[in-house]
Every structure is written in C-alpha cells, then in structure tokens.
Structure 1
C-alpha cells in the first residue's frame, strides 16, 4: 500500500506546529498519538510474545511513559539508559528491561547483574576473562546471524564487518564457556540492521537462532531484534506487518517451545517526530540553489552519517506549488551539513517554517553542540 502523505499527522496539526515555531527557532516535536498507534500495531502481532523498545532511538520522557503505558518493554545498551528509564518510570518492574552492552567494561556487566536486570552478552571475552561474575546467572547471548541488512552499510549489524554478536563458528566454545562459568543461557538474540523492508528477514533470523538455541537446554526465548523499516518518500510502501506475522506464525508452529521477542526502535517513534526550523537565507551558485535553515547536522546527523532521506516541506507555504529544486543546508561549518539535495519546495522566504519529517528516532539523541550551537528543545503534543 502506498504511503499517503496527505493524512500525515503533522498536516493535521499544522496550526499547532506553526504556533510552536513562533516561540522556538528550532524544535523537535513528538506526537504521542502516533507513538501509541505504532505500539498498537506491533502489539497486534499475535505471533510475537513480547516487544521491547530500543530506547537508544529516543529517550524523551513522555515518549518512554507512553510506550510503557502501551505495554511495550525496553532494551537498554548502557547503565545511563537504564538509570534514565528508572528515573522516568520509578515503578517499572525491572523484569521489563533487557540490558545489552557491547564492548563495555567489566563494571557494566557487574552493575547489570547487581541491578537484577536481564543481561545479554555478545562476545566470548566476558566469559573468558571474567567467568566468576556470571556464576549462577541466567544469560541472553547475542549471536551474529551471518548477514546484515539495512538501508546503509553503517546500520547493518551482522556479518564479519560488524562488531556485534558471537559468530556461528564460536558456538562450540560458547557452550564450553557457559558450562565452565556455571551460567545458564535462557535467550538467544540477534539484530541484523535497520530500515529493513523484507518481512522474511525475521523468519530467516529465527531459523538461524533456533540452531543455536538447540545447543542450550534452558533457552526459552528467541529475540529477533528490530530494524523494521518505515516509509521515507512519497509513494513508498508501508511495511507489511501481516506478512511478518504470518512468517513468524509458521515458525512458531514448527518450534512452539520458544517465545518470540522483537525489539522495534525506529518503527515506534520515527514517524511521530518532526524537526521544525526556520529559513535563514537563500543562495544561488550557477544552477545550484541553496536554502539555509537555522539548525544543521548538530541537531540531525542522520543525512550526513547515513545518507538518510527525510521529507522536507515548507510548512508555512505547504499549499503552494513546489516548483523549485533546492539543496537544504544548515549553519554548521561542514560541507556535509545538508539535509537534502534536489528537493522540491515552493518559492520560500526568510523566516518560513521548514519541517523535516521522520525525525522521531535518532534525532535529538544523536545531537551535539558542534560549533557551539545549541540543540533544539523537545516538545510533545
């Protein structure tokens, strides 16, 4: 089904967004109804036993509360994320947290165990170097399914070029080390990338994980990770959740002893967020026309880092014909400080409100004060 941009939430709430822009030069705005709707879609998958939000995507407090209230649990990758989650949600049962550090120091694994949260290992080294801290512990193991997927090489999180996961060639040693450490493996985990549009990807991962799970008698959970893609451009198809549900249901009928978990991050929050900014200047250089805005890659680094596409519209003149091809750039002193190239906008003027879409994930959380420019505030509606 094509992605119909005519009914996106930010058009319905245009008046409210323009009012926010009157009081903020730049701002991230998150629509909590959109977050709830995405959570409801994930939770409707009857082949999935549990969904955990990869909170590195967006740790805004209102977003976290909304997801928790929607019965979404949480995957954290650092003690800081866990502590922030607990600060925001002090009544949250710690059984709803999965802790998955990567190349972290010994102290982080000890801390996770002391906190009573489920810890995931994605390398043999902790078991080789610090086996005593895992004595009697119930562990998840992240394995490398062998092939990464995603919209850019830097978001593929499997395969030998990726730092993540225990390789399949190390499984025999993993069995030996967990037995020697007196640790019990209860879950097998993988994550192959981000922005994946093929529903068959998660069935493929499940088929790989079950081969590892069968080596450990106490495994009850297969965590298939996240990476569900969201539409980027007008006309893009939405991800086929029904097809995903069907493929996982087929797997479950074959392997009913295992619970299936997913870890959506961007899927739950990307479309819920927009970045509002203001047009500052325009410039022509030969046949190139530049539109400058009041924030840059310090606020949204995904286009520079991943060549990520984000919809860009002139919210002030959204009903005018988009007749000019422009490159949208920010004020940061880097050639790569551009949000989009060859984008169609209507004739635009200083102080027009420019909206950058699908910025609810990996936007504010990856921002910085590069060039000593402030990052945008976050506002929820």
Structure 2
C-alpha cells in the first residue's frame, strides 16, 4: 500500500505520521504546481507524476535523467457530477492525446525515463469494466515508452449513495483486471481506492436547531453545514439522511436539511422524506467517512464538527 499526495504539505503529513515510510511508497501528483514543488518531489525521491507538458517545455533541466510517471487524459471521463469528471477537454487533468508526439520528443531529448502511465476517469464510478478499459488504453501507449513498468488505473470506485442503489461489482473489477494481467504480466497495476475504503465507515451526526416553513417548503436546520461537509454544496453529492431520534417512525414530511452557514448553497439534502422532526432531534448524514474533515473549513468562523474514531 502507498499514499498518493497532491501537495508538498500532504507529503510532509504522511512522513510525519509514518517517519520510516519508504520513499517509493509515496506518489506525488501535483497539478498546475509551481516549479519548486517538482524539484522538491524529485529531491525527496518519491514517485512523481507529471500531468502536463508545460513543465517539460519550460523546465526540462529538472526532469532530465529522472524517472517519471505520466498522467494521460484518455479523452473520456466519468462521474456523478461535472466537477468530479477528471478526463476530457472540460477537465484540467492529464496530458491530452494531441500532445503525445511532443511528449515523446521531449522525453527522448532529455533522457527522461517514463516508468509509469496513469489515467483517472472520475469519481463515483460503478461500471466494473472502467479500470480494465484504462489498463488496455495505457497498454496501447507502451510502444512509445518502453521502460514503463507501472500502469496506474486511478480510482473513482463508487459506493451506493441512495437506499437501494446497486453496489459496484468489485468481483467483476477483479476478474477483468486478472484477465488483463494474464495477457500483460510484465507490468504492475496500481489503483487508488481511497473513498471506496472509508466513505461508508463514517457518518456525520448533527442536532436539529430550528424548523421553518415557507409556503409548502419545509426547512430543517441543523448545527452543522457546508463548513463540515462541503460535498453537497460543491458538486451536488447525495448523502442519505436519517432522523436517529425518530428511528423507525413513519416518514411524514418532506424537507430541505440545511446548515447555519450564511450561504444559500448551505444545504445537506433537498426534498428529504423524514419523520415528524423536532428541535433537538439527532440527524445522521451517511457516507461521510471521506472528504469530510479533510475538506472542512472555519467559514463564518464556525468550527467544523468534531471528528471521533471508534474501534471495535
């Protein structure tokens, strides 16, 4: 297992927590970063991913004779919202196919050793064939980069968000990747399961503070908002909400569940069926184990919810 970091601060955080970690277990993947961040990554000796051709054009001397992983834009992204789609012309990530010829020229000119290729389609993907498709695409590019020994297929493994949604058939993912490995045994396959591992391991518990009706619309206000969980406001992510204080009771109202932040977008869930809800009730917001605390803020100078860990 390794750690993908997208900033020097994340790299430093991993090294602080795991001071004896081997540098090869850190994958540094900056995006639109200044020159010094690439220099720091190379000096550290971790695996460095390059996702744009600009640094090779402008600062070739810092990459000369180095080992690199190259992030390729396959041209086709996937995801539950446009802000989580990470491939295609509308996404800022990856080197597009039209730059491939220039990339090869720069790699040869500066004796750069491309040891890995990386592709990532997006987040919340439940198509079990997605990662094998990425493997096949990257494999087709190895003819240009004979030193490649790593294919990083990215992440985006989706988890069910709404009750009754189908789960990603992870066994089918495994079967398709095992079939690829049987045909291409000379590369290591990397994946980035991130949110898939922890999203369902956490819930956000909030307390109802006020209720309001405006015509036929009902608002249930809570003591946490987008400063604690920004995913619904940022890209319309759905998080299931339950009233723990009225567990098992009939769902008799439809309400927007909102927070205390001074923004109209401070909504945890719209049009949610809930039992008759009262001030002081406890609400649980599901699949909050990923991108909660790490994306929280002190917006409006309101502290985000406290993070608690429980071990069985």
How does the TM-score come out when normalised to structure 1?
0.80
Q: What is the RMSD of the two structures over their aligned residues, measured on CA atoms?
A: 1.1
Answer whether contact 1:295 1:330 (CA < 8 A) is retained: yes
Among 158, 161, 186, the residue aligned to 1:229: 158
Question: Which residue in 2 is equivalent to 1:376?
Answer: 305
Shift of 1:214: 2.1
Secondary structure at the residue paired with 1:141?
Answer: strand
Distance in 2 (CA, whole Å) between partners of 1:254 and 1:170 is 28
Question: Which residue in 1 is equivalent to 2:128?
Answer: 199
1:168-183 alignment to 2 at 5 Å?
168-183=97-112
Question: Which residue in 1 is equivalent to 2:47?
Answer: 118
Secondary structure at the residue paired with 2:247?
Answer: coil
Question: Which residue in 2 is equivalent to 1:294?
Answer: 223
Question: Which residue in 2 is equivalent to 1:252?
Answer: 181
Query: Is residue 164 of structure 1 aligned with residue 119 of structure 2?
Result: no
Shift of 1:319: 2.7
Question: Which residue in 1 is equivalent to 2:206?
Answer: 277
1:326-365 alignment to 2 at 5 Å?
326-365=255-294
Give the gaps of 5 or more residues in structure 2: none
Shift of 1:115: 0.8
Answer whether contact 1:157 1:163 (CA < 8 A) is retained: yes
Secondary structure at the residue paired with 2:21?
Answer: coil
- 1:45-65 CA-partner distances (Å, limit 9, x unpaired): xxxxxxxxxxxxxxxxxxxxx
Distance in 2 (CA, whole Å) between partners of 1:151 and 1:174 is 31
Distance in 1 (CA, whole Å) between partners of 2:224 and 2:85 is 28
Among 92, 114, 131, the residue aligned to 2:60: 131
Moved over 6 A (4+): none
How does the TM-score come out when normalised to structure 2?
0.97
Distance in 2 (CA, whole Å) between partners of 1:269 and 1:185 is 32
Question: Which residue in 2 is equivalent to 1:261?
Answer: 190
Question: Which residue in 1 is equivalent to 2:118?
Answer: 189
Answer whether contact 1:127 1:181 (CA < 8 A) is retained: no
Secondary structure at the residue paired with 1:149?
Answer: coil
- 1:199-227 CA-partner distances (Å, limit 9, x unpaired): 11112111211122221111011100000
Secondary structure at the residue paired with 1:325?
Answer: strand
Distance in 2 (CA, whole Å) between partners of 1:374 and 1:168 is 44
Moved more, 97-106 or 345-354: 345-354
Shift of 1:136: 1.9
Distance in 2 (CA, whole Å) between partners of 1:276 and 1:84 is 27
